[in-house]
């Protein structure tokens, strides 16, 4: 399906008219079609670099005109798109206020802020995406700042119509799709995530030993009865928030063109698209957001977070009980924050959801740092030589858009293909999610990764924060990325340091 579909979707970008309407499109965007001349110009711009002795044109501005000034403080990810029109700035500020807002349980005297829970993981969006950056995995005495949870599912369940390759899973009938470790007054939380660590030494070719830590997950103190013997768990750390609107504006055709599920070209890379049913449009769409690309748009990702993380109703997920299952009767009967005539009768109305999505789309990507230093340029060459760019695809040109000037027709450098890849048994969560199997993950964007310490106060990477450095993150790669990982193991120390310097410059 994938290669034929990609060819069908690429046709409009080249000025051709396909015989049939594409199965996947970008209906979430108000797109101005590219001309043939634009498509040819874009193809030349996106070609891999021929040399590595100097930065490429515009490489210093990873978000194009939306790129913001780089800061070495915790506010580095909290700036608005640099090209934002004045008319959009108030919406960004209002979205920021809602993103930072602390919700309270009902009943409460603050009718504009009640409705939290009854079961929840956080009281504000900012509690998980601290300073709009990565969440905080457990780290001993720092446990009070943890912003990490477990996805849950059990085998079985129907596949959405029109989506092939779907894995038959469903939320746990008691604990739902996410373990909530907090509850409002009078209710028990669903349980507590427990992590047991085991060290694994890795010997590099120059004799350096890196000690990786292997996590094992369990649920302690389940509050609503025994756990299913078939329960599948997947840990998730909240990802950084920058550049989401630009990722949303990449043409689906350009993403699907990189699909090669059967590895037809024999390069060992077989990325696959996640296809999800859109709650807004009611049709299958390309998944882009989340660790397994489970949502198609920023709006839908935001609504899912309001419901799953905080138990708040929105137009897309209108249940005021959030994730409470039919087996959790007291939870379903608990007070909620929906009031007739207030906020559309919801806890988060359509306007508030739109403002939060606007904020999330427009958190600016900082400018590159040190990109012309010889060590960084050498590291970029190593990155390409090892094949890292095969999945962490450096650059795209976004759609030209009628109503989103911040994202319209920008040359961007996110370093992702937004496809699912088999990352091997060591990173497997063994929990299928849509079209993703238990070993597959979406390639995460790398832009801004070198500012993680400044923003989040730690350098813990991957979907569960197990890697304590960029080098550890690379050494966990397996599956399709195993040759690149083995190449890093074999590098001399100078080239390895150069690779890390390049990553830290992103």
pLDDT tens digit sequence for 100-113: 999 999 999 888 89
- SS3 of the chain: helix, strand, coil, percent, to 5: 30, 15, 55
Partnered with residue 211 across adjacent β-strands are 201
Helices 493-505 and 374-385: crossing angle in degrees, nearest 10, is 100
Q: What is the pLDDT of residues 317-359, one digit of tens each?
A: 999 999 999 999 999 999 999 988 888 999 999 999 999 999 9
Count CA within 13 A, CB hemisphere, residue 139. 18
- 32: which DSSP letter? E
Q: What is the pLDDT of residues 402-422, one digit of tens each?
A: 999 999 999 999 999 999 999
pLDDT band for position 142 (cuts 50, 70, 90) = very low
| Model confidence, pTM | 0.93
Structure confidence at residue 140 (pLDDT)? 54
pLDDT band for position 10 (cuts 50, 70, 90) = very low
Lowest mean pLDDT among 4-8, 272-276, 396-400, 410-414: 4-8
Q: Is 182 helix (H, G, I), strand (E, B) or coil?
A: strand
Partnered with residue 286 across adjacent β-strands are 275
Q: Which residue has the tokens 């197990």?
A: 466
Q: What is the arithmetic mean of pLDDT over 7-31? A: 54
For the record, the structure tokens of 453 come out as 């310490």
Q: What is the arithmetic mean of pLDDT over 263-270? A: 91
10 Å CB burial of residue 437 (0-12, 13-18, 19+) is middle
Give Cβ neighbours of residue 494 (< 8 Å, ≥ 6 apart): none
Counting residues of the chain whose pLDDT is more than 90, the rounded percentage is 88
Structure confidence at residue 161 (pLDDT)? 86
Angstrom distances, CA of residue 8 to CA of 20, 42, 395, 458, 468: 9, 18, 22, 44, 42
Give Cβ neighbours of residue 139 (< 8 Å, ≥ 6 apart): 458, 460
Query: Number of structural domains, the chain?
Result: 1
Q: What is the arithmetic mean of pLDDT over 348-377? A: 98
The residue range of the domain holding 111 is: 2-505
Helices (H), 324-387: 329-333, 350-361, 374-385
**How far apart are alpha carbons 135 and 122 in whole angstroms?**
12
Residue 487 has pLDDT above 60, yes or no: yes
pLDDT band for position 1 (cuts 50, 70, 90) = very low
């Amino acid at each position: 399906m994938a290669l034929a579909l990609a060819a069908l979707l690429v046709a409009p970008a080249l000025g051709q008219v396909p015989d049939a309407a594409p199965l996947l499109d970008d209906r979430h965007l108000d797109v101005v079609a590219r001309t043939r001349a634009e498509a040819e110009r874009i193809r030349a711009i996106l070609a891999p670099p021929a040399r590595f002795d100097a930065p490429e044109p515009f490489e210093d501005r990873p978000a194009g005109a939306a790129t913001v000034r780089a800061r070495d403080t915790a506010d580095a990810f909290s700036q608005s798109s640099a090209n934002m029109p004045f008319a959009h700035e108030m919406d960004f500020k209002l979205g920021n206020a809602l993103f930072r807002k602390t919700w309270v349980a009902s009943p409460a005297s603050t009718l504009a802020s009640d409705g939290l829970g009854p079961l929840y993981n956080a009281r504000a969006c900012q509690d998980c995406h601290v300073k709009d950056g990565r969440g905080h995995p457990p780290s001993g005495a720092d446990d009070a700042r943890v912003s990490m949870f477990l996805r849950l599912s059990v085998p079985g369940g129907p596949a959405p119509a029109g989506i092939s390759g779907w894995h038959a899973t469903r939320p746990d009938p008691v604990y739902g799709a996410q373990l909530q470790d907090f509850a409002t007054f009078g209710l028990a939380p669903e349980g507590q995530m427990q992590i047991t660590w085991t060290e694994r030494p890795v010997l590099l070719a120059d004799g350096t030993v890196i000690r990786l830590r292997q996590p094992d997950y369990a649920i302690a103190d389940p509050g609503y009865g025994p756990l299913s013997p078939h329960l599948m768990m997947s840990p998730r750390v909240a990802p950084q928030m920058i550049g989401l609107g630009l990722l949303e504006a990449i043409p689906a055709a350009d993403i699907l063109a990189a699909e090669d599920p059967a590895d037809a070209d024999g390069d060992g890379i077989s990325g696959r698209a996640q296809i999800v049913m859109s709650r807004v449009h009611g049709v299958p769409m390309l998944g882009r957001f989340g660790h397994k690309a489970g949502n198609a748009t920023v709006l839908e990702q935001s609504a899912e977070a309001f419901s799953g993380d905080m138990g708040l109703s929105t137009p897309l997920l209108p249940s005021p009980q959030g994730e409470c299952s039919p087996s959790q009767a007291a939870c379903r009967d608990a007070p909620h924050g929906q009031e007739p005539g207030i906020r559309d009768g919801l806890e988060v109305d359509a306007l508030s959801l739109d403002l939060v999505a606007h904020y999330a789309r427009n958190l600016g990507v900082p400018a590159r740092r040190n990109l012309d230093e010889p060590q960084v340029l050498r590291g970029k060459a190593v990155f390409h030589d090892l094949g890292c760019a095969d999945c962490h695809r450096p650059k795209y040109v976004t759609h030209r858009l009628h109503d989103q000037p911040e994202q319209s027709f920008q040359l961007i450098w996110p370093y992702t293909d937004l496809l699912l890849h088999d990352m091997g048994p060591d990173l497997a969560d063994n929990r299928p999610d849509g079209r993703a199997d238990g070993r597959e993950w979406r390639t995460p964007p790398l832009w801004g990764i070198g500012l993680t310490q400044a923003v989040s106060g730690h350098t813990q990477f991957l979907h569960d924060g197990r890697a304590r450095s960029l080098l550890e993150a690379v050494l966990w790669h397996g599956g399709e990325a195993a040759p690149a990982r083995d190449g890093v193991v074999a590098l001399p120390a100078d080239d390895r340091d150069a690779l890390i310097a390049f990553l830290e410059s992103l």
